[in-house]
Amino acid sequence: MSKLLKDIREAIVKTGLKDGMTISFHHHMRNGDHVLNMVLSEIAALGIKDITVNASSVFDVHEPIIEHIKNGVVTGIECNYMGAKVGRAICEGILEKPVVFRTHGGRPSDLEKGSSHIDVAFIAAPTSDDMGNCTGKIGKSACGAIGYAFADAMNADKVVIVTDNLVPYPLHEYSISEVYADYVVSVDEIGDPNGIVSGTTKITRDPVGLRMAEYAAKVIDASGLLKDGFSLQTGAGGATLAAAKFIKEMMLKREIKGSFGMGGITAYMVDMLEAGCFKSLIDVQCFDLDAVRSLRDDPRHMEVSATHYAGVSGKSAAVDSLDAVLLGATQVDVNFNVNVHTDSNGYIMGGSGGHSDTAAGSKLCIIIAPLTRARLPLVVDRCMTISTPGKDVDVVVTQRGIAVNTKYGKNAELKEKLIKAGLPVCEIEDLKDRAEKLSGVPAPVKLTDKVVARVLYRDGSEIDKIYAVK
Amino acid sequence: MSKLLKDIREAIVKTGLKDGMTISFHHHMRNGDHVLNMVLSEIAALGIKDITVNASSVFDVHEPIIEHIKNGVVTGIECNYMGAKVGRAICEGILEKPVVFRTHGGRPSDLEKGSSHIDVAFIAAPTSDDMGNCTGKIGKSACGAIGYAFADAMNADKVVIVTDNLVPYPLHEYSISEVYADYVVSVDEIGDPNGIVSGTTKITRDPVGLRMAEYAAKVIDASGLLKDGFSLQTGAGGATLAAAKFIKEMMLKREIKGSFGMGGITAYMVDMLEAGCFKSLIDVQCFDLDAVRSLRDDPRHMEVSATHYAGVSGKSAAVDSLDAVLLGATQVDVNFNVNVHTDSNGYIMGGSGGHSDTAAGSKLCIIIAPLTRARLPLVVDRCMTISTPGKDVDVVVTQRGIAVNTKYGKNAELKEKLIKAGLPVCEIEDLKDRAEKLSGVPAPVKLTDKVVARVLYRDGSEIDKIYAVK
């Protein structure tokens, strides 16, 4: 018995994939992924139409999907994040059905609850045996954690493992078990590991970014959370990475023994682990190759499923134990709602990812963003798209002031602490005024009434809609 | 947020356990387990009645369950194995409802398919954090793998982790994720790790056992399976362990690089791994403390769930890739059916465990047993209890002859190979005659028509019934 098939085409045929079905992909190869394009190309060649693509994220490398939409091969997209290239096309209205955006925790939970269904999952696996025991930790295309693929493997009707490093049975350090795999396909290359680092940045050297980072670190310090057992998630943006560096310095200086670092993991978090700031890393995806190496070699660096990381269908998730998270924003509104889906021109260029999951779970959710970008104000009356609801946001840090969110009956004490620490605390409306003084009040973006995307909150409810740009 | 409760009593109350419900336990602490008794004692003290206990195995240490049955606290038992003490009481008819016996693969599969349901699972965990990330690999009561508990955690309505080694969050080397845990209880002692080794034996020094072991090793050799990539499961009986030793010597001498050893893992399998006979061990439970150490320290030694090991609800299980398995028997009949449930007096003293799972999955299933035991013949016309169907058994090895099962249209070629190798091949009827010549034809055991147990095959269908002894 072996599950090995000749090629992707044979796998598509064997799974019984037909018009109207939903297929899925994970995004751990990020902008280096080849599998989504390879599979769609074969599906198109087989004449199959009306496919919904449920990918944990869609990157610029997946631009060929635009052509498949135009040809009727792809008629639906569901994802947690969408890069600007495909996002622009979506906002121009090329897809009849609205894109469904979920969060990194909501996606697996919807699969587990049955409110989302996958007919065939195609799982890019940097190493697999012929029965489908697979991992992202080793192999020429090693991407580290494959935490977003667990729910696909566990819940899709059919599961195809696509690997470029087929090893003899049994692969003993598997992340996903053969229990879930129907077929295995060996290909030349599932992706380019160098594409994994796309979207992440180096620690900022920009004085604006450094000031925000320093403020954010001081907010955490003033909050009282920075003590033994401290846990932290940062994104991969330049200012949040700089904030992590400031926090690391404080922790080392004061000999604070933190608990865990979490998230998409970067070299900076690995560095904090190795420096003794944390006793472990909780890793659902690796943002760079240092993280891949650490996950492979350091047992304190642990891979988790998206459900374990941030789901709502389980009895708990790691985000529920998180102290502080540093997150970005394209817009924040006066009710502290945050937009990470659309840019100021109304075009899709992102998505929740784990934004609203970590905001909801953490004790302290800090948004770091410059007061203006490209002459557009950060703070507005109402976000063009609400990605994360204001009730889950605690502090907005800009280079020109820090707003504490006391609008939902909490954080009064936190606000006092920040003021006492000498931080430039102001109201969110003050930030709006200061931003508008710098950049003026922008002309409203012209949108049509055509819904191009629905934004689902982590519990599966609709939190907002995105409209086509005029 | 923490899931930590004060004690087992509080956990029972919080889970909402009430009359008529089903609770579950795993058996990795084997005859050293304290948790089943502690929980039943609290349930009794709370006045809860009519409880079904679904334990992956019931050992002699669980003898107090007899009193709970008499008091109406426990009215049902489901298990894969039952030791002689409780087994005797069951066969005397103390329980109204028949015991339900499953296999190690059938139990998790029935839970996954929904044909078996657990209201509250109590999971003995040698180490856990306060959110329920837990493992058996470390802690003062380390028992190694906890593979049988995975399905309980994943499928029970409520899950209580009972530990005697509570560690700070997050436990990074968890086996079962917090996703599945409702509550955590810290107790003084979940068990006595020395009890883990109960039921396992040392390599036999008995000449009869050694002859059977040598024959079994030669059968594997003659079958042609003993080459690079070879995989093996043995039980923990003296003769099968001796067979493993012979196989090891052959592999080392001929420089055969095997694939994996599997099963309940003993020190003998660890020794074969370390000697280079296998490249990995697939471990669902540890039979001794050497196995516990190896699982903890050697990444080639991997813990798997019971579903991964032997289930039928997944897309495949490791047993499907198994070459040879060496199994025991209390009786074999002329149709090659095997009994491992009842002794020759009709009393329950065992159960399928992984017997029929590995028999079905493996390429070569060898039963090793002495021709007579306590003056009773091994081979009979019809087993008192059919545990494993004859169609899945390939060879019966005794000290007085080897019967190859050609009754189901297979193994003709194997029979030729064994004859060519000079092995004492005979018919199963010959073994019956020889046994009866040695021990006489035993008087039939007197049974009543009261069904005390139903034996389910791995697919959930009933394969046999066990009746009360007169």
Chain A interface test: which of B1, B4, B113, B179 (most A C-beta within 10 Å): B179
Percentage of chain A with pLDDT > 90? Answer: 94
Question: By C-alpha distance, which of B47, B9, B11, B305 is closest to B158?
Answer: B11
pLDDT at B161: 98
Average pLDDT over residues B101-119: 98
The sign one gets for the Cα dihedral A198, A200, A202, A204 is positive
pTM of structure? 0.97
**Nearest residue of B to residue A181, measured between CA atoms:** B315
Strands A127-129 and A462-469: unpaired
**If you average pLDDT over residues A374-378, what whole number do you get?**
91
Q: pLDDT at position B237, please? A: 85
> DSSP letters of A84-133?
HHHHHHHHTT--SSPEEE-BTTHHHHHHHHTSS--SEEEEEESEEETT--
Which strand (E) or helix (H) includes residue B447? strand B447-456
| Residue B194 binned pLDDT confidence (cut-offs 50, 70, 90) | confident
- pLDDT for position B204: 86
Q: Do B177 and A279 touch (CB under 8 A)?
A: no
- DSSP state letter for B7: S
Tokens of B121: 């699972």
What is the pLDDT, as a whole number, of residue A197? Answer: 80
Average pLDDT of the residues of chain B: 96
User: Which candidate in A109, A315, A322, A363 is best for mutational testing of the B interface (most B CBs within 10 A)?
Assistant: A315
Nearest to B170 among A179, A282, A299 (CB): A282
pLDDT at B442: 86
Report residue A330 CA to chain centroid gap. Answer: 15
Cβ contact (<8 Å) for A304 and B280?
A: no
pLDDT at position B193, please? Answer: 84
Determine the distance from the C-alpha atom of residue B310 to the mean position of all C-alpha atoms in its chain, rounded to a whole number: 11
Task: pLDDT band for B348, please (50, 70, 90 cuts).
Answer: very high
Contact criterion met (CB below 8 Å) for B204 and B242: yes
Cross-chain residue pair B259–A169, CB shorter than 8 Å: yes
Going by pLDDT thresholds of 50, 70 and 90, the confidence category of residue B202 is confident
Burial class (CB in 10 A: 0-12, 13-18, 19+), A145: buried
pLDDT in tens, A315-343: 999 999 999 999 999 999 999 999 999 99
Alpha-carbon gap: A305 to the closest alpha carbon of chain B (Å)? 9
Smallest Cα distance from A396 to chain B, Å:
25
- The pLDDT value recorded for residue B196 is 85
pLDDT band at B63 (very low <50, low <70, confident <90, very high): very high
Question: Whose CA is closest to A232, among A195, A185, A279, A169?
Answer: A279
> Does the pLDDT at position B201 exceed 80?
no
Contact assessment for residue B302 and residue B281, using Cβ atoms and an 8 Å cutoff: yes
Summarised one tens digit per residue, pLDDT across range A223-235 is: 999 999 999 999 8
CB contact under 8 A, B172 and A280: yes
Residue A196 has pLDDT above 90, yes or no: no
A131–B181 CB contact, under 8 Å: no
pLDDT at A201 over 80: no
Closest residue to B170, CB basis, from A173, A182, A280: A280
Report the sign of the C-alpha dihedral through residues A413, A419, A424, A429, in that order: positive
- The secondary element (H helix, E strand) that includes residue B270 is helix B267-274
Sign of the Cα torsion B292, B297, B298, B301 reads positive
A193 pLDDT exceeds 90? no
pLDDT digits 0-9 by tens, B405-432: 999 999 999 999 999 999 999 999 999 9
Chain B: which residues have CB within 8 Å of chain A? 1, 3, 131-132, 159, 168-170, 172-174, 177-182, 229, 259-260, 279-280, 282, 299-302, 304-305, 307-308, 311, 314-318, 320-321
**Rounded distance, CA B56 to CA B284, Å?**
12
Partner residue opposite A131 with nearest CB, options B181, B229, B316: B316
**Distance from the B66 Cα atom to the nearest Cα atom in chain A, whole angstroms:** 34
Q: Are A320 and B1 within 8 A, CB to CB?
A: yes
Of the partner residues B179, B282, B314, the one whose CB lies closest to the CB of residue A170: B282
Integer Cα distance of A332 and A340 in angstroms: 9
Phi, psi of A255 (to 5 degrees): 55, 45
For residues A246-254, average pLDDT:
98
Sign of CA dihedral B51, B52, B54, B58: positive
> What does the pLDDT average to over A449-455?
98
ipTM: 0.96
Of B159, B172, B308, the CB nearest to A302: B172
- In tens, the pLDDT along B214-261 reads 999 999 999 999 999 999 999 888 899 999 999 999 999 999 999 999
**A411-416 — which CB contacts under 8 Å span 24+ positions?**
A414/A223, A414/A364
Burial class of residue B117 (count of CB atoms within 10 Å of its CB; 0-12, 13-18, 19+): middle
Which of B178, B230, B296 would you mutate first to test chain A, the one with the most A CBs within 10 A?
A: B178
- pLDDT at residue B335, rounded to an integer: 98
